[in-house]
Chains A and B, each alone.
Chain A
Amino acid sequence: MSTRSRRLAATALALAVVLLGAVALHVGDRWTQAGFLGTETVTTIADADEVPLPTSTCTVVSGAPHILTLTDAGDGLPVLEYRVEISVSHVPSGSYSWATGTVDDTPMLPVGESFWSADTAQVGWGIKGWSLGGGSWSGTVKVQAIGPGGWTSDPVYFDWSIVSPGIGAATVTCAPH
């Protein structure tokens, strides 16, 4: 190859390199034009509902079971069940016993925890038996409404007592805690 030819070839090569570099730079510039962003946001407040408080009442009549109504305030979540937990100072024994089954169509509470469907209007409890020496019992009953998923309301408490003199009518009480 002659000197002139080598010069021409070198010149052409340099030209090609310069042009390719320029094109590469320009393509790079175009590439950065992609990818413009916008943001749209949407918001909400997620609120959780509540199980309504029981509006139970406790009524007493000497010689009859204590009666606890199972009702609720009606607002908030639907009530599916009621949880009732009753305690007693000491379990009746001897000639006395804790009432079970039903009395006048009212189901009797077992000592401890029990669950009652929402269509149960009322439950009761009491002491059966008689003794010349008499006896006395007291305790607390706790009521909670239960909603979907087992969510429970705040509890409502009543203090109760039964005092039997042995002879004569018993003295009975039940009042909000």
Chain B
Amino acid sequence: MTPHLSGRAKAAVVLLACALALAVAVAVGRSPWTDAAWTNREHAVATFHAVSFQTQSQAAGSTGWAHHPTGDPAQLFLDQEELAPGGTRLEPAAGPSIYSWFNVRTSPDTDTAAHLSLTDVSAVGDLAAAVDYRVVARTASTAPCSAADFTADASYLAGSATGYAHLTGWVSPEPSVPLGAHGTDPAGLCVEMRLAADAPNSYQGTHADVVWSFTVTQAEQ
């Protein structure tokens, strides 16, 4: 039996059907009246995900801008000075520091801003247990870093004005450094390393392979 509907009831049913169709279309990303344009927009978003968010870096040992993912890191030091403790037999102290620089930016075809943070440090080798380090942000530069970059009001990604991080220790992703879109406003980083005062005598002539990993996160739209 076919139910009898009044004119207003029919209108309500039609309206509900349209709303349902619209809702389903919105939910699945399709529009019933601009199907082609909407599809293009989805395609554009997909392209953005795959191609348009890239990062690049440069360092003292590899000065050209290039992407340096895990497994293909930039070289931090050109002429590596050797580490040693400081002070004397009776009054041991931390050793003299060595410094190097590292710059990071978004790639020229990246459409969005981002922010950079230190997210991992891995070190392999006997010496790793005795190396202290700090990382500060500065204006991107290829000029050498020095103790003057590690001031009390500098932005420390690792360590602090009064303390050092350990290669075998925990890494905090805070704070982060902003990066502009299209390679603008690159971040400059200074890395300092030194040998701890209590580095044992048996560490002479040993070494550690160290990799710092910086994560660049797309800024929220």
Which A residues are within 8 Å of any B CB, using their own CB? 4, 7-8, 11, 14-15, 18-19, 21-23, 25-26, 29, 33-51, 77, 80-81, 115, 146-152
Interface of A is mostly: mixed
Q: Is the CB of B95 within 8 A of A148?
A: yes
Q: Is the CB of B53 within 8 A of A41?
A: no
Known: A23-B26, A34-B218. Contact between A43 and B12, CB under 8 A? no
* Chain A residue at minimum C-beta to C-beta distance from B12: A11
Known: A26-B27, A47-B82, A51-B204. Contact between A37 and B218, CB under 8 A? yes
Instruction: Tell me which residues from 22 to 78 in chain B have a Cβ below 8 Å from any Cβ of chain A.
Output: 22-24, 26-27, 29, 45, 49, 53-57, 59, 67-77
Instruction: Tell me which residues from 69 to 127 in chain B have a Cβ below 8 Å from any Cβ of chain A.
Output: 69-77, 80, 82-90, 92-93, 95, 100, 102, 104, 106, 112, 114, 116, 119, 123, 125, 127
A7 to B11, CA, bound (A): 11
A149 to B194, CA, bound (A): 13
A148 to B119, CA, bound (A): 33
Interface of B is mostly: mixed
Known: A15-B16, A48-B205. Contact between A149 and B199, CB under 8 A? yes
Q: CB of B170 within 8 A of chain A?
A: no
A45 to B126, CA, bound (A): 12
Which residues of B sit under 8 angstroms from A45, Cβ to Cβ?
80, 207-210
